Amino acid sequence: MKEIVRVGNAQGFWGDSVDAPLNMVTGGPLDYLTLDYLAEVTMSIMQRQRQKDPAAGYARDFPEMLRQVLPVAHEQGIRIVTNAAGVNPAACLEACRKVIGELGLTGIRIGVVSGDDIMANLDSLLAAGAGLAHMESGESLTTVREQVLSANVYLDTFTIAEALDQGADIVLTGRTTDPGLVLGPLIHEFGWQRDDWDLLAAGTVAGHILECGAQSTGGNFTRWQEVRGFENIGYPIAEVGADGAVTITKHEGTGGMVTVDTVSEQLLYELGAPENYITPDVVADFTSIRLAQAGPDRVAVSEVRGSPATDTYKVSVNYSKGWKATGQLTISGPDARAKAEKVAQIIFGRLAGAGYRYADTFSEIIGQEQRAVGGDTAVERVDSLVLVLGVKDDDRAKVERFGKELAPVITNGPPGITGFAGGRPKAREVVAFWPALIEKGLVEAKVEVVEV
């Protein structure tokens, strides 16, 4: 058993830095590379992609990233854990298999964790009494069943550890918890048990600090002026001992910074009740956490307390809640603000005259009338403002009609209108989030390890 396990996270979301994963595996010592691609809305996007194409529904960036990273990771014995499988683990596995074959590598073992996607079983689960009530309103999911786009359970982290126990070099999961990508390797390495509440809580806190990538190393930091080296910002690494001692750091020579303040801001990110941070593995008490600067770019995390896990899983459900469209126009010249206000009135007035009224409309003017022309004595002002307009409604056709009304005002409205780019605004589906709970006994996770 290792005394210290080093886990580094190089993706905080689908669309994060394409260079961070390779920089992480080449920048210094590392045991595990984690990559977090999923957010609640990402699941619905992937579900839509899979409906259009049975080979889609996963983070397509991951296999291409693997092409760069895997040769180095394999040589150095770095194992990779990611939720890139999204809603289609089988397709993600095949894409990875293809890349590995093209690299000429053999003997790579891939663990696939599935069972989180309950979309196909939704009706039978509801019929069996799993009401999947909204956690805030108490409303049954049956009220929006026909609009449901995706339904995924946050599986427990021991599934990841099981795949690693079976020798997986790469672990592909769907919807597990974000901190679980870090906790899973720690459970595997140290043999932590399901009732090691304080240890599981410490690993969960480490995962929470790492899950958003560079947000704990200076990215998105309130006092951003203090951060040096944004161009080469390092991504976070957790050095963890079997006793649950955690140190947050980054590779030497990288930009950014790791301080009590940067780590504290990330600890508070997306945090509800700090004393009751619930995961499927443990309930962590964030008020027990103690942070201390342990050296340059090193923060010690200690005294984390945990309590028994609940008997339910959280379910992330996304459903369609109508359509929206937004567009913008640039308004320039004298009296730009007055013209922008008039343009908004014209567009919505024409729509109303044609019989189109919307459940919700939006109008905003961005910018300030500040720029003078002609020197200190000039009185004429030439300003440039951006007018942003939007509508929302259950009727897609009405929303599409809104998109056809912006361009005409350029020539049949006040002068000085420009900046209409990208074509007509198109209707986009509004995706709403429905959080629910389900008894753990109703969900069956599956772990499979294959060699490619």
- Of all residues in the chain, what percent carry a pLDDT higher than 70? 97
- pLDDT tens digits, one per residue of 113-129: 999 999 999 999 998 88
- pLDDT tens digits, one per residue of 235-284: 999 999 999 999 999 999 999 999 999 999 999 998 889 999 999 999 99
* Architecture per CATH, 318-434: 2-Layer Sandwich (3.30)
Which one-letter DSSP state was computed for residue 145? G
CB 154 within 8 A of CB 282: no
**Closest among 77, 55, 80 to 66, alpha carbons compared:** 80
pLDDT at 9 over 50: yes
Q: Which residues contact 99 (CB under 8 A, 6 or more apart)?
A: 63, 64, 66, 67, 70
**Closest among 271, 308, 299 to 287, alpha carbons compared:** 271
Q: Where are the beta strands (DSSP E) in 274-340?
A: 277-278, 283-285, 290-295, 298-302, 305-307, 312-333
pLDDT at 99 over 70: yes
Query: Based on the number of CB atoms within 10 Å of its own CB, is 154 exposed (0-12), middle (13-18) or buried (19 or more)?
Result: buried
- pLDDT tens digits, one per residue of 332-361: 988 899 999 999 999 999 999 999 999 999
Q: What is the mean pLDDT of the chain?
A: 94
Which one-letter DSSP state was computed for residue 279? -
Quote the pLDDT of residue 376. 55
Q: Mark 329-355 as b/e (b = at least 16 C-beta within 10 Å).
A: bbbbbeebeebbebbbebbbeebeeee
Model pTM score: 0.90
The number of residues making up the chain comes to: 452
How far is it, in rounded angstroms, from Cα 38 to Cα 88? 13
Helix or strand run (H / E) with residue 48:
helix 40-52
Query: Based on the number of CB atoms within 10 Å of its own CB, is 170 exposed (0-12), middle (13-18) or buried (19 or more)?
Result: buried
pLDDT at 25 over 70: yes
Strand partners, 176: 155
CB 222 within 8 A of CB 265: yes
Residue 195 to residues 191, 282, 283, Cα–Cα distance (Å): 12, 9, 11
Residue 255 to residues 10, 158, 218, Cα–Cα distance (Å): 14, 34, 9
pLDDT at 383 over 90: no
- pLDDT tens digits, one per residue of 385-439: 999 999 999 999 999 999 999 999 999 999 999 877 678 899 999 989 999 999 9
> At residue 142, what is the residue type?
T
CB-facing half-sphere around the CA of 186: CA atoms within 13 A: 31
3-state secondary structure (DSSP) of residue 231: helix
Q: Where are the domains of the chain?
A: 4-116+154-310, 318-434
Lowest mean pLDDT, pick from 30-39, 45-54, 75-84, 442-451: 45-54
Q: Which residues contact 74 (CB under 8 A, 6 or more apart)?
A: 105, 108, 169
296: left (phi over 0), alpha (psi -120 to 50) or beta: beta
- Of all residues in the chain, what percent carry a pLDDT higher than 90? 87
Quote the pLDDT of residue 369. 60
- pLDDT tens digits, one per residue of 139-181: 999 999 999 988 999 999 999 999 999 999 999 999 999 999 9
How far is it, in rounded angstroms, from Cα 115 to Cα 391? 38
pLDDT at 377 over 60: no
